[in-house]
Amino acid sequence: MKIALPNAGPSARPRAGAILDPAELFPFAASETWLEIGFGAGDHLAWQAAGNPAVRFLGCEPFVEGVASLLARVARDGLRNIRILDDDARLLLDCLAPASLDRVFILFPDPWPKTRHHKRRIVTTETLDRLARAMRPGAELRLATDHADYAAWMLAHATDHPGFAWTARAAADWRTRPADWPETRYEAKAARQGRKSYYFRFLRRAREGDG
C-alpha cells in the first residue's frame, strides 16, 4: 500500500536523478494516474478510487491519523488502486516520471493564515513547477479552499504560472462544487460554520519541448 521512494539510504529523500514510474507501483494496467496531495482523512481519495477502478491513485499525507483513516477505508471497501506516501508530497513530485500524472487534487490544504507562515503554503510557484513537470499536457489540477485569502493566493499563483490555464468561464465555475467532487467532512464543517468554499480547475498547458 505504501510508496517506496527510490533513495540511497535511511533518508526519505529520493536519490538525485531517480525516476519513479507510477505504473510500477500497481500489479494491473490502468488508464490514468491521479494524485491527491494532503488527503486528510481520505474521504475524497477513497470516493474517487471506488468510482474509478481503472485509475491508479497516489495519495500523500504526512499525518498518521489521516493515513490510518484511509487505510481502514481501503480495507473495508477492498480498494486495490491506491498507493500512499506518508510524507511530504514534494518528495514524490521530485522523482515522478515526467508527464506521468493525469489529474492532481489539492483540496483544503492548511491556509497558514499568518503572513509570516505563508512560505509554508503548499500552493507555491515551486510546487507548481514540480506539478507542471509531472503532469502531462491537458492534465487537470483541482484546488479548493474555504479561506478567502488563500483562494486569492491560489488563483494568483496558478494563473500566473505559464504551465496552467484556468478553465472557469463564469462565477459558478469556481463557486459550485463539481458533481464528481464529493463533499468531505472538512468541507461540510466549513459550510456549517458559514465559510464559503472556492473550487478552481486548471489544465496543464502544452508547452515547447513537451512530449
* Cβ–Cβ < 8 Å for 173, 201: yes
CATH classification for the domain delimited by 32-204, as one of 3.40.50.720, 3.40.50.150, 3.10.450.50, 3.40.50.11440: 3.40.50.150
Q: What is the pLDDT of residues 87-119, one digit of tens each?
A: 999 999 999 999 999 999 999 999 999 999 999
**Cell triple for 33:** 494516474
The residue ranges of DSSP E strands in 15-169, in sequence order, are: 32-37, 55-60, 82-85, 101-107, 135-145, 164-166
Tens of pLDDT along 18-72? 799 999 999 999 999 999 999 999 999 999 999 999 999 999 999 999 999 999 9
Is residue 110 flagged as an active site residue? yes
Q: Which of 21, 77, 88, 110 is catalytic?
A: 110
Mean pLDDT over 192-198 rounds to 93
- How high is the pLDDT of residue 209? 57
What is the model's pLDDT at position 210? 58
What pTM was estimated for this model as a whole? 0.93
**Can you tell me the distance from the alpha carbon of 89 to that of 120, in angstroms, rounded to the nearest whole number?**
13
pLDDT band at 189 (very low <50, low <70, confident <90, very high): confident
pLDDT of residue 46: 97
In this structure, the strands spanning 198-204 and 164-166 are antiparallel
Per-residue pLDDT at 8 exceeds 50:
no
Give the CA dihedral 107, 110, 111, 116, nearest 10 degrees. Answer: -150
Which sequence spans correspond to the domains of the chain?
Answer: 32-204
Confidence of residue 4 (pLDDT cuts 50, 70, 90): confident
- The confidence band for 7, taking pLDDT boundaries of 50, 70 and 90, is low
